[in-house]
Amino acid sequence: MRFEDLMHVAVQVFEAAGVLVLVLGSLAAFAFGVRDARRGVKAFETVRRNLGRVILLGLEILIVADIIMTITIDPTPASAISLGIIVLVRTFLSFSLEIELDGVVPWRRAAARSGATQEDT
């Protein structure tokens, strides 16, 4: 098996893993939401938070496939530009989802947590 063939297999494995994480994680998020709803807990926040985490993880895994593809299989300027755009979009989505999940920008997360614990005491 040639190196390029091996890299094609690696890309397919990472793409399949990313999609599997998205599908199974989404189903699990909804299952946990149904469980919480049956217990009388507000399920919307649980589902929303878990779906956000699943999307972040799935995107990270799919980016690995794109990086492998760009570096080993199709190292052209067009491919690098395409990867750059994908990474920018993923970074924006990741940043937006983190703010959505935590309710605070990432660089203020520690201050928000320490402020919450000080207020609770």
What would the pLDDT profile of 66-81 be if each residue is shown by its tens digit? 899 888 888 889 888 9
pLDDT band at 110, cuts 50/70/90? confident
Question: pLDDT by residue (tens digit) across 84-104?
Answer: 998 888 888 888 877 877 777
pLDDT at residue number 104: 79
Question: pLDDT by residue (tens digit) across 22-69?
Answer: 999 999 999 999 998 999 888 888 898 899 889 889 988 998 998 998
pLDDT at residue number 116: 58
Reported for 18-23, long-range contacts at CB under 8 A and 24+ positions apart, including other chains, are: 18/58, 18/59, 18/61, 18/62, 18/64, 18/65, 19/58, 19/62, 21/54, 21/57, 21/58, 21/61, 22/54, 22/55, 22/58
Token pair of 24, please? 């199974």
pLDDT band at 121, cuts 50/70/90? very low
Q: Domain ranges in the chain?
A: 3-120
**pLDDT, greater one: 46 or 117:** 46
pTM to 2 decimals? 0.75
Q: Is the pLDDT of residue 1 over 90?
A: no
